[in-house]
Every structure is written in structure tokens, then in C-alpha cells.
Structure 1
């Protein structure tokens, strides 16, 4: 991944903006951005779904070609060369016949067409043939710089106007570098550099007498370096007069042009100096580095994305290979095919576990961003995800509670009370009962005792309430992360929250990651049953066993063990000791009215 690492970054330094004439349509990024933020931006651009194709190669390279300027200079060169050869041609024509001249032109044309055909076969899409201009062959060849290991570009900027005269430092806090005190530099890393463009116009006298008219366009390179490349091409023609040289030119530019730029393992550009008259065939950087470098960064990023779309990648979920256009490139730089990641996202949205919508990589926990979910989910699924995310975010807020009557979110005050904006119910946020200032909330046992004393609970409701309280004390814990109540029905003490995916110990309630925690907490520890739970288990079991015996059967007295006739499900009357006993608590009952299932019967008075 290419990332911009700004040596001279500063919040006060001006942002580097691309010139509109240089790179229309290319988004600029501040050269002073860090490498991590650059990676995040690239990851955001690298999301593709089915059918993604990316920009065309020549559309991406077009801002760097300067075709109009190259064409204009070639026409000037052709006109100057034609004027210079007028007198020479007139002298030569006296000694050469008209037929011989046509044969030479015909031979040159054939050699030019053969050369163009060979170039097209060799360079493919890098050769753009534009037909003829004024009866002469005209074409452009792109030479791309694809740097697998990346290239470090050191750009030297001038800060004469930003220098602090008191301490000799720049206003943005960057120390000066280089020979001049008003210069500083920053460094960027690139995987792709904008192309070098060789534009040629083949005269009728090529290759027998004259070389091609050419321009070398490198819109990001300094002028002296481009002029040296033009001189290198002149040298090759001087060594191979009368031969086709375009192939040798292209190969020399591909292999040797970097040597004019690479010094000590990096490319050095700048500093910006007043334009000096150089080789007219050299089209170099005409704008400041502050305008050019952001466009170079954008070009490298888009080329990397284009290469991603065209390459084959393996999905680490289904282990199948496909083109990048069928993959999702997450901001964390992990790749997964659209089908697998879409299935995973739909599953979590359906189950409501939206907090588990993270990168599927086992060593990564980065969240899947909303713009990726919008591509993968249907409109209804995305709306459900949006709603669930809001609800769970509210649930995780400590000052948001829900009205027990109409389930509307409310804000609690400093006294842990809240008022519902819909039904105006004023309630305690802890117990969800009506507000009770300066009094503690009722425990589940006390609530059960009150309901039992009111006489509005049936026997079935009493038994069910006992089971509910037992389950509350024994099988429910709150998730330490999202505070969701979770019940354990079986298994070990390592629990996972179905809401947020947090692992925690059911025994002590602490958040954990692996099994190291259970060296202190037992993984399969026996349940710690309280005295109240043990009593409830015994009494409820007795009641169930006795209720299963049919009326008319015999039951032994719990005191004297004599057999008695069963004529009631709630009480036993012993004929031997002449006493009444409750079938639930097995105690002697003097007054049978309202005892069965009362707080005294179930043992709540002792707690």
C-alpha cells in the first residue's frame, strides 16, 4: 500500500491543492497527511461490488499526457525542419530522379507501417495510434512506472514567505533542509508514478534520413531531467542512422529514465525555480510541487484500486478465487467476496446481533462501515440495521431507560427517576415501579409478598412466580459490556453475549477473552444454591409430588407417619394426631384460611 508520510506536516501548513488544468476530476489529498489516514482513505475507495469496473487506463492517464501541447510543439518542429530542408532538397533533387524519390518515400512508408505494427504487438494498450496528421503517422506511447516495492519521493518546497525571523524556523514548525535556509522537504511513498509519454510524428524521410519528430512529456518531472532524456534519444539516433529507432527509444526510456531521477534510493523533485529555457521537445512540470504532489498521490491511489479490480484474489471464507470487482475491500485492508460478506451481514441483521458486524478475520475486530452495509443489504435490511443500531446504542447509554408502559426511551434524572414523554408515567429507573422518593426499591421477594398478600394470585401463578424468582437468582447474569440479561440453561461458565459478542464468566460476571481466567474461577463449578432457593426447591417439589397423587389416595402424616385419606390437595388432616398440615410447607396449620401459598407458607418472612 502506498501511503503519504509527510515529513513536513503541520496543522498550520497550507493544504496542497491540485491545479485544475493538471488533473481535472482527480481528488486531492493533503501531502501532510499521515500514512494511517492515507490507508483509511484508500480502503474507503477500495470497496467494490458486483459489476464494478473502475476508470479506464487512458482516462486516468489523460491529465498527464498534455496531448495538445505535444501536438503543437511537433507541428512547430516539423515546420522548422521542412523549412531547413527546402534548400537541401532542391540541391539533391537536381541529381536524383523523380521516380527514385517516390521509391524512397514508398519504402519509408512501408517501414513505418511495419514498425507501428511491431510496436502495437509489443506494447499493446500502451501504444495509442491516432492515425495521421498532415499525411504523417502520429502516435503516443505510454511508459508507466509500476513500482512493486514502492518509491520514495522527496519534494523540496520553498518557505521564504513563512519563515519566522526570530528563530529561523518556519511558521509551521518545520525546520529548513537543503542548501538554502528557506527550503524544507517532505517525503511521500508511491507504488505508481504518472506515465512518461513519448509522442512521435514520423516524417516522410524517416527512417532513411531523418529521425522522428518527438516530444517527451513528464508533467511531474523537473525540466532539466526531461531535457536530458531528449538528449539521450538524440544520441541513440546518432548511433543508429537510417534505422527504425522508436523501439530502442521506448526501451531506453523504460530502463534508463529512472537513473536520471533516483539518487540515494529516492526521487528528488524541486525546488521550484523560475522557468529556464530548455529543450523545446521536453514537456515537464510547469506548476509548483504544492499542486503536483497531491495529484500524484491521487493517481497512485486510483491506479492501485484499478490493479485491485483486475487482479485475482482469494476469499478467506469460501477459499475461492475471483477478480477484485467481485470483492469487498474493507478499510482494515482485508478482502472478502461479496457473496460471503453479504451472507454474514444479512445473518447478523436478521438475528439482531448488529454489534457483531465486524471484519470476519479472526485477528481483526474492525467494524464494517455503513457504506459497505448499504451495498450488501436490501433497503428493508438496511433500515432494520439502522433501527437496531440506534436501539442498542440507546440501551448502552447509562442515562436512557424505557417506560414500562409504552416502551418509550426516557432520560433519567440525578435521582434515578424518569418521566415518559408519551404517557407521562413517572417511574423509578431501577425497579420500573411508580416513583418512590427516599425509599429503596422492592426486592423480587418483597414484590411477590405484596402480590401474595393482596389475594389476587392463583395457585398456578404462585408456583410460576416461585420458579421465576429462582431463575432470576440462579440462571441470569448481566453482560459486562452492554448490560443485556443472559440466562444459562446448560454448559460451562464461559458465556458469550448474543447482543455484543462479549465473552464473560458466568460465575463472577467479569469480561474475559480466553480460558486463562478459569484458573481462578472454576469452568465447571457446582451451583451455589442459597438457603432460600433450597427451601423453594424442597417445598415446590413436595407440592408437585403430593398434587400428583389422586384425591382418594393415602398420604402419610409428616408428624406421626400414619396413613391418612387424601380429600384435599392443599391440606392433610391426620386422624391419629388430629392436626392439619399444609401439603406445600409440611407445617401444622391451625387456621387453614389463606395459609396455602402465603408468605408464611413459602418462607418469605425469614428473608
Structure 2
């Protein structure tokens, strides 16, 4: 207990009256036995403040505060009225300081000095409770009975009003923060002790062996570490979300990632760079200087554009338009893509470094015009390599139609408009993948079917390796003319020569060639 607190001052004045009293014979031994009993009951909640043999004996006991409804709503009294500050499921314990007279517990009634300290109670309320407690315990000589009497008074209802009248020395706002922070620490310590279930691997383990995310959900260290490493390596920091299906909030903050990746790891540095880039890209007034990244080496310099889309690079001093990334042109509209391409083509026709840069930019613009479109909400560039026409922006998570650029939610847009969900190129890619899958499934089915009737070692002996795709091909009976069902290649089982289509029999009809039928 700090010596400057009001409770410390009150306790010091009460202890002073015991220092002039003489001890009673055999009192020391009785006190020692009584303290041993108290330590067995209260364990860590009991603390002896005085030195061994020092009189009077000073004790400190932490007494839990009971909540009648399981939680308490904190209200702060202000000039505008009562303001809710939050709710708590646990209040800090009430601390009881006791000064025992030298004759305790042998002679006469116990006139012990008691002082209370409780963060949720005001000074006047504490002093009144101290006087009431001392009056009730004058006929009792047991510290255990005193603590039980105190517990009868420590009940808090469903609301706790904090006002400046209650706390003359403290600000009610600071008192509320003290109570809320204690409740948060208590909940964290309780969760660390309790068993938790990882939503990824479903293992049950103590909370101290995992990580609690900022959303409150738990995950084991190994699973969350794999998630952090995977998405950070792939550069997709927006996918680092809570693994609980009903949550999925981005709750991997810097403290959690330091714990998972290591404070000095390269992956953590990469995550910080990607997070900063994502933050800048999501800001509508941030653009990048087109000259500082002229070589395309990734040295992008962020600049702030004003309401007129004018931005100035602090590195090279280039003033440009934030919309079209060309020289700032006040009062005139931005050049269209076709106009920019025509200008670049004229510059690319020359010689020198400027023409070389123009040719590189021209190729880039042509590629971007063919493969990318801008998000209708954040204007972020999106590249579509495959899939349906419903596209998700990786920056702002907005769904939009790839064909018309409109923001959509479900798939009704493709049923009520001229936009197609799948274009011809995607259907062609799908057919190619399905054809490859069909052949792979056929080979797997053939292998499973043959494995039911043949010994695996014998199956390996009767198989031949395709000279083109290296797939295993079963040699049926004595026929040396084999066909690989993976790549449709015809070859000889004896010499492994690839046989021409439609003329495979010529290989076996030649003199000194391989026989078409043999036991080997």
C-alpha cells in the first residue's frame, strides 16, 4: 500500500496507538499458530507486512467482491447526465489492512485497527464501512470472522454509479478505466488457464499454449503461424482474418504477428511493408509518382493529391495529375486511353532513354488495357486471369461485374442483364481442364481396378514407362504394341520406340525388328 494514499494515512494513525502497549506472555506463540491457520485458509490472499517479532503485527488480506447479477454496468455521473462506461464481470478485490494488538488473541476483546481499500468505493463509503466493521468485530477474536463479516457487506448490484462526490481524490473517469482494465486482465488470465479449442485443427489445449486474437477468438500457435506465413509470403495481408467462420474479421495485429513470426523475422518486415502499401492504396487522396517508378523497380513514392487532383512528388518535384498520372493540366480534361496510346506511340518511335521508357510504358498500358479493370468503388486495378465474371476487389472487398463494371452483390445481375457469367475463353479453359481431369481419373480408375486382381510387385513388372510422359502403361498378354492413355502415344514395349500413327505395324514387320508378340 502506497504511503501517500488516504488509506495509508488512516492506517498509520490507527497503528500508532498499539506501539506503546506491552505484549502478553505466550501471545507470540498463539499469534504464530493463528497465522499458520490463516495462511492455510487464504494462501496467497494473505500477506504479513510486519517483520518477524515486530509488534504490532500487520496483515493484508484480499477479499473478493461478490456481484449479485454476474456483471456490473459502470455509469459515470457528468453534468450532462449518467454516461455508460462499459460492463465488468469482476471487480478488483477489497484489501483489508489489519493491525493486531500485542495481546491478541489471548487477552480481552480484540480492538484491532482496520482500514479498507477498494477501487470501486469512495473514501466516505470506505470510512463508514471501516467503523461499522470495527464495531461488529469487537466481540470477535478471529481474523477469519472479521473477513466473513466484511464479505457480508461487499455486494454490488447490477449498476455502479461513479461520481465526483464519491471520489474526492480521484477522477471518476480514471476509476472507470481502472475497473475496466482489471476486468480485462482477469478475463485474459482466466482464459489462459482454461482449455480452448482451435477452430482450425480442433485440438483442445490450455489457452496459454495458443494465441488470442483481437476479436477475442482463440487459435493454436501452429495453425495461426502457418496462416501468417502463408498469406504473408503470398502478399495477401487482407486474407489474414479470424479463422472462425462466423467472425472472419481482420484481427491479426502487429503484436499477434510478432508473436507468430518473430520480432526480427523477414516475414514480419514484409507484412509491415504490405500493410503500409494496402493502407496507402485504400486512401483515395494518395497517388504514386509516375517518374520515381519509371524503371518499374517498385520504388513507389506516395504523394497527396488535392481536390483538383494535383499532386507534387517530394522526391523529384514532379507535379502531376492524380487521375491520369501525366503533367498536371488545370482546366482541361484528362487525356483518354487512346490519346495516351497515340502520344506514347509517337514518343516510342524515337531513340534514346525517353523513347525506351515510352516503349516500355506503351507495352504496359496495352497489357493493362487487355487484362485489368478498375474497381468501381476504390479505383484499384484488378487483373482477371480466369474464373467467372463476378470479381472481388482485393482492396475494398467489393464485388463487381467484369463485363460492365457495375457493383453487384449476388448473381441476379447475370440473369437480368446482357452480361454473361462465363465468357468463351473461360469455357474453353474449362473444357481443357475437364479433359485433363477425365484422363487422370481414367488412369487412376484403371490402376485401382487392376490392383484388385494383381499383386503390386507383379503389376510393376508388367508395366512399361511411356517414353514421352513417363506414365506407367500395363502390358496386356504378349502384345508389344502399347498405347499410353495419358498422352495417347503408341510405342514398342521392347525397344520403347515411339510408333507413328497409322503405321505402327511397320515397326514389327521390318526385318531384325521387335516382334509384335513375345513373353517378355
| TM-score, structure 1 normalization | 0.50
Unaligned stretches of 5+ in structure 1? 1-18, 23-63, 86-101, 158-172, 176-184, 273-284, 455-466, 530-607
* CA distance in 2 between partners of 1:295 and 1:477 (Å): 54
Q: How does 1:321-336 map to 2 (within 5 A)?
A: 321-336=204-219
Of 221, 228, 231 in structure 1, the residue corresponding to residue 122 of structure 2 is: 221
Of 58, 76, 81 in structure 1, the residue corresponding to residue 17 of structure 2 is: 76
Q: Shift of the alpha carbon at 1:250?
A: 0.9
1:123 aligns with 2:42: yes
* CA distance in 2 between partners of 1:205 and 1:419 (Å): 82
Cross-structure match for 1:548: none
Q: Deviations over 1:571-601 (max 9, x none)?
A: xxxxxxxxxxxxxxxxxxxxxxxxxxxxxxx
Query: In 2 relative to 1, CA 330–78 (structure 1 residues): closer, same or farther, beyond 3 Å?
Result: same
Q: How does 1:513-528 map to 2 (within 5 A)?
A: 513-515=409-411, 517-520=413-416, 525-527=421-423
**Secondary structure, counterpart of 1:442 in structure 2:** helix
* CA distance in 2 between partners of 1:386 and 1:369 (Å): 10
Q: Shift of the alpha carbon at 1:346?
A: 3.1
1:488 aligns with 2:393: no
1:402 aligns with 2:402: no
* CA distance in 2 between partners of 1:356 and 1:415 (Å): 34
**Secondary structure, counterpart of 1:231 in structure 2:** helix
* CA distance in 1 between partners of 2:242 and 2:375 (Å): 22
Question: Are 1:146 and 1:193, in contact at CA under 8 Å, matched by a contact in 2?
Answer: no
* CA distance in 1 between partners of 2:126 and 2:311 (Å): 74
Cross-structure match for 2:80: 174
Cross-structure match for 2:482: none
Query: In 2 relative to 1, CA 416–250 (structure 1 residues): closer, same or farther, beyond 3 Å?
Result: closer
Query: In 2 relative to 1, CA 112–134 (structure 1 residues): closer, same or farther, beyond 3 Å?
Result: closer
Q: Deviations over 1:124-158 (max 9, x none)?
A: 1111124545455442211132647333456668x
**Secondary structure, counterpart of 1:203 in structure 2:** coil
Cross-structure match for 1:151: 72
Q: Shift of the alpha carbon at 1:252?
A: 1.9
Q: Shift of the alpha carbon at 1:119?
A: 1.7
* CA distance in 2 between partners of 1:111 and 1:198 (Å): 20
* CA distance in 2 between partners of 1:423 and 1:187 (Å): 52
Query: In 2 relative to 1, CA 510–119 (structure 1 residues): closer, same or farther, beyond 3 Å?
Result: farther
1:316 aligns with 2:199: yes
Q: Deviations over 1:528-567 (max 9, x none)?
A: 79xxxxxxxxxxxxxxxxxxxxxxxxxxxxxxxxxxxxxx
Question: Are 2:389 and 2:402, in contact at CA under 8 Å, matched by a contact in 1?
Answer: yes
* CA distance in 1 between partners of 2:320 and 2:164 (Å): 71
Q: Shift of the alpha carbon at 1:382?
A: 3.3
Of 158, 165, 168 in structure 2, the residue corresponding to residue 288 of structure 1 is: 168
1:249 aligns with 2:150: no
Cross-structure match for 1:235: 136
* CA distance in 2 between partners of 1:393 and 1:187 (Å): 33
Question: Are 1:193 and 1:296, in contact at CA under 8 Å, matched by a contact in 2?
Answer: no
Task: Please report the RMSD computed on the Cα atoms of aligned residues, expressed in angstroms.
Answer: 5.0
* CA distance in 2 between partners of 1:294 and 1:203 (Å): 39
When the two structures are aligned, how many residues end up with a matched partner? Answer: 389
1:352 aligns with 2:232: no
Question: Are 2:213 and 2:251, in contact at CA under 8 Å, matched by a contact in 1?
Answer: no
* CA distance in 2 between partners of 1:78 and 1:417 (Å): 80
* CA distance in 2 between partners of 1:265 and 1:271 (Å): 20
Q: Shift of the alpha carbon at 1:405?
A: 3.3
| TM-score, structure 2 normalization | 0.57
Q: How does 1:322-471 map to 2 (within 5 A)?
A: 322-362=205-245, 363-366=247-250, 368-377=252-261, 378-379=263-264, 380-396=266-282, 397=284, 399-400=287-288, 402-403=290-291, 405-407=294-296, 408-409=300-301, 440-442=336-338
Question: Are 2:116 and 2:130, in contact at CA under 8 Å, matched by a contact in 1?
Answer: no
Q: Shift of the alpha carbon at 1:334?
A: 3.9
